[in-house]
Chain A
Amino acid sequence: MKKTVFLGALTVAGLAAGASAAATLDDVKARGKLNCGVTTGLVGFAAPDANGNWEGFDVAVCRAVAAAVLGDANAVEFVPTTGKTRFTALASGEVDMLARNTTWTLSRDADLKFTFVGVNYYDGQGFMVHKDMGVSSAKELDGATVCIQTGTTTELNLADFFRANNISYEPVPIETNAEGQQQYLAGACDTYTTDASGLAATRATFEDPSAHVVLPEIISKEPLGPLVRHGDNEWGDIVRWTLNALISAEELGITSANIGELSAAAGDNPEINRILGTEGNLGEMLGLDAEWAKRAIMAGGNYGEVFAKNIGEDTPIALARGLNAQWQDGGLIYSPPFR
């Protein structure tokens, strides 16, 4: 008898655990907060400002999702993760999504069991060196000491690059960007390698950015994007289409300035109407209300506005749109249609 009760309790517990793993949306709503995994601090992408508020390009994605789901762009609990801890944090359910300049690869998709919902920044791995070293190409780095964030794709690209060019190097593994910065500035490593955007962001925080150069070689493709766990496709859809809403908004000219006017009543562009919920029931299909995308866009503006505000050419980081321009402008940023 006792054993039956025991096993019965176990079954209930097991079912409860299974059910809670499936519906991330309900969990987030019940909690009233979105747990979003970000970096431990990379200016422009995700870093706390002077008042302790997180801001940046990746943070904007978290805020947009929180706005779409919970109606409040500030209802986000930011969980700083290192290159090493990020996947365990996501797989264990400690965070609901990861927006942490993470490269989309096959093995992370199929083997680590994560779903990348899209790409919010097309990047590539570069090298930064002190200008007075007189190095003009990454191929001249034979024998150099290289600071490298451990647990990243850049670690593997680095090994491949040096092997392919038949030159040697000495890796200095580091945990966080701040640690890499310290070692690089003290000259404990000759070069610091990570995604080119990360290098630009790091260099912008230096006392004298002009004393450092990013070498021209980009040795890998690093499509960075937000990701969620396998197994909850509804939640994956919400994050995917929130990102797409920001991208489409830029394409269609919806900005934080004119969104109030455009969403007041249905206009003559049916796709704008569908995104903003004045026509059709796209929000309902996602399990949200009609104004989800409107709130997401209002959280920080459309993709272009987010880019310009955090990492664009007018910021200290000064990244050009390049590959990250809209497809009509010759870039790769492209959203499937809202239909």
Chain B
Amino acid sequence: MTTTTDPHQGQFRLSMLLYDSRYRSMTIQIIALIGFLLLLGWIFSNTAQNLTDLGKEPSFRFMGEPAGYDINQRLLEYSNQDTHLRAALIGLLNTLLVAALGCITATVLGVIIGVLRLSPNWIISRLSAVYVEMFRNVPVLLWIVFIMAILIETLPSPSAFRKGEASLSLWDSVAVTNRGIYIPEPLFTNTLGNLHLFGNSSLRFDVSLDLIAILAVFIGGLLTSGLIKRRADHTQEATGTRPTTWYWRLGVVVIPTSIVLVLLGLHWGYPELKGFNFKGGTHLRNSLIALWLALSVYTAAFIAEIVRAGILAISKGQSEAAGALGLRSNRTMSLVILPQALRVIIPPLISNYLNLTKNSSLAIAVGYMDITGTLGGITMNQTGRELETVLLLMLVYLAISLTISSVMNWYNESVKLKER
């Protein structure tokens, strides 16, 4: 057999760039690249020129100016004298909060609905199907607005509590109002104070040392519990009998954590009606609740389908083989089906987490001050810097999305089928 293109013997000539099949594709690609770069350059220079003509040269100096507006839900301390940068940071934390809460609830709800849809019980599987179709086929914005309207219109306002028409729920500890839900907050008598990071800058960040202490002891307990489990596994492999360790494993987590909580002087701050509003307690604003609930139930419908698809993707022979080996059905699910199903579930799950995070920018519909509401809303409006704020916003969402997908890809890698 002869090769179709013999090694070229003669001189290289310019025309060969076009007529020689070895170089032609390269030539075309380079020309296309140059054209693309020219187009990009034109878009950039045109934008810059038009903005300069309008007298609005791109500049990010406005981020250092005082913001002048207030934000209701702030995870860090903030006043209207702080800069636009800090307002953007407060908004960013609100975005992350609702995204994290939403991802967790959507996953839990989605897995439950997805598994229930496969249930042999006709009513349960139909109800799950109705759930999926109902939430998946209505735009999430409508769910957000709908839940917000229900919260505002049906729950009692604080004045109803004042007149005695409504009262606190759960032994006088939770106030459910149409301004949000007030729940008891943990307070510490012997508080360790806060750790101040970044001094006085716009990015200053207070970390509660109480929280760090509690988390450290709790995680230490979990690790110890893991050690005990490993030793039990070893004993089981060596002798065939598994020592009973559950009270040890529970004890090393619960007892040290409780001791730390008692030492810190944990007590609860209950909401109380003072003046116009409830004071004390943690205030979950109805904008947060509406957004969180709507995003969760909406995304859960998609996750349910992903979970169902993942489980159905495992061939029936696997569960039958597990049954033949004598595994009980819950062990079959956790040891055979799920580890294989996860490989199918995780990649589409990543996109749903990303969707949920990006959908959280619909927050403005209910006045939840996420980063689109602060940086992309009020800051943009008060400073008139549309281009700069939108660019920053895009960068922020890009960064959040890339972080989520790299974490999830790392997890995906760890549950992948390990072939030898």
A interface list, Cβ under 8 A from B: 6, 10, 14, 17-18, 83-84, 87-88, 91, 107-108, 111-113, 130, 133, 141-145, 150-151, 155-156, 158-160, 163, 169-175, 182-183, 186-190, 230-231
B interface list, Cβ under 8 A from A: 38, 42, 46, 49-50, 53-56, 68-72, 80-81, 149, 152-153, 157-160, 178-179, 274-277, 279, 286-287, 364-365, 367, 369, 373, 377-378, 381-384, 386
Bound CA–CA A18/B153 (angstroms): 51
B382 touches A151 (CB 8 A): yes
A188 touches B152 (CB 8 A): yes
Bound CA–CA A97/B38 (angstroms): 35
Bound CA–CA A142/B68 (angstroms): 19
Q: How far does the Cβ of B335 sit from chain A's closest Cβ, in whole Å?
A: 51
A159 touches B80 (CB 8 A): yes
Q: How far does the Cβ of A185 sit from chain B's closest Cβ, in whole Å?
A: 10
B70 touches A159 (CB 8 A): yes
Q: Given A112-B384, A188-B286, does the pair A143, B276 have CB atoms closer than 8 Å? A: yes
- Beyond A108-B384, A170-B72, 20 extra complex contacts between A and B, CB < 8 Å: A10-B42, A14-B46, A84-B381, A87-B381, A91-B386, A113-B56, A130-B159, A141-B276, A142-B275, A143-B275, A144-B277, A150-B364, A151-B377, A158-B70, A169-B70, A172-B179, A182-B152, A186-B178, A188-B178, A231-B54
Q: List 14 A-B contacts (CB under 8 A).
A: A91-B384, A111-B383, A111-B384, A143-B276, A143-B277, A144-B276, A145-B276, A159-B69, A172-B179, A173-B378, A175-B367, A187-B178, A188-B286, A190-B277
Residues of A within 8 A of B369 (CB): 173
Bound CA–CA A172/B148 (angstroms): 13
Residues of B within 8 A of A14 (CB): 46, 49
> Chain B residue with minimal CB distance to A133?
B159
> Chain B residue with minimal CB distance to A142?
B275
Q: How far does the Cβ of B396 sit from chain A's closest Cβ, in whole Å?
A: 19
A150 touches B46 (CB 8 A): no
> Chain A residue with minimal CB distance to B178?
A188
Bound CA–CA A112/B157 (angstroms): 40
Residues of B within 8 A of A189 (CB): 179
Bound CA–CA A213/B105 (angstroms): 43
Q: How far does the Cβ of A92 sit from chain B's closest Cβ, in whole Å?
A: 9
B72 touches A143 (CB 8 A): no
Across the interface, B54 reaches (CB within 8 A) one of A17, A158, A187, A230, namely A230
Q: How far does the Cβ of B92 sit from chain A's closest Cβ, in whole Å?
A: 17
Bound CA–CA A186/B356 (angstroms): 30
B384 touches A6 (CB 8 A): no
Bound CA–CA A148/B157 (angstroms): 18
Residues of A within 8 A of B157 (CB): 186-188
Question: Total A-B pairs in contact (CB under 8 Å)?
Answer: 107
B54 touches A163 (CB 8 A): no
A170 touches B277 (CB 8 A): yes
Q: How far does the Cβ of B374 sit from chain A's closest Cβ, in whole Å?
A: 10
Q: How far does the Cβ of B31 sit from chain A's closest Cβ, in whole Å?
A: 10
Residues of A within 8 A of B381 (CB): 83-84, 87, 150-151
B72 touches A88 (CB 8 A): no
Q: How far does the Cβ of B45 sit from chain A's closest Cβ, in whole Å?
A: 10
B55 touches A186 (CB 8 A): no
- Give 4 nearest A-B pairs by CB, closest first: A187-B157, A151-B381, A112-B384, A159-B80
Bound CA–CA A113/B52 (angstroms): 12
> Chain B residue with minimal CB distance to A130?
B159
Across the interface, A143 reaches (CB within 8 A) one of B160, B274, B364, B383, namely B274
Bound CA–CA A112/B369 (angstroms): 23
Q: How far does the Cβ of B208 sit from chain A's closest Cβ, in whole Å?
A: 23
Bound CA–CA A88/B376 (angstroms): 12
Bound CA–CA A112/B384 (angstroms): 5
Across the interface, B68 reaches (CB within 8 A) one of A18, A151, A159, A190, namely A159
A6 touches B38 (CB 8 A): yes
Residues of B within 8 A of A141 (CB): 276
Bound CA–CA A159/B287 (angstroms): 21
Residues of B within 8 A of A145 (CB): 179, 276-277
Residues of A within 8 A of B382 (CB): 107, 151, 156
Q: Given A151-B382, A183-B152, does the pair A156, B42 have CB atoms closer than 8 Å? A: no
Residues of A within 8 A of B149 (CB): 182
Bound CA–CA A144/B378 (angstroms): 21
Residues of A within 8 A of B373 (CB): 150, 173
> Chain B residue with minimal CB distance to A14?
B46
Residues of B within 8 A of A188 (CB): 152, 157, 178-179, 286
B72 touches A156 (CB 8 A): no
Bound CA–CA A10/B383 (angstroms): 31
Residues of B within 8 A of A17 (CB): 50
Q: Given A142-B275, A143-B275, does the pair A156, B54 have CB atoms closer than 8 Å? A: no
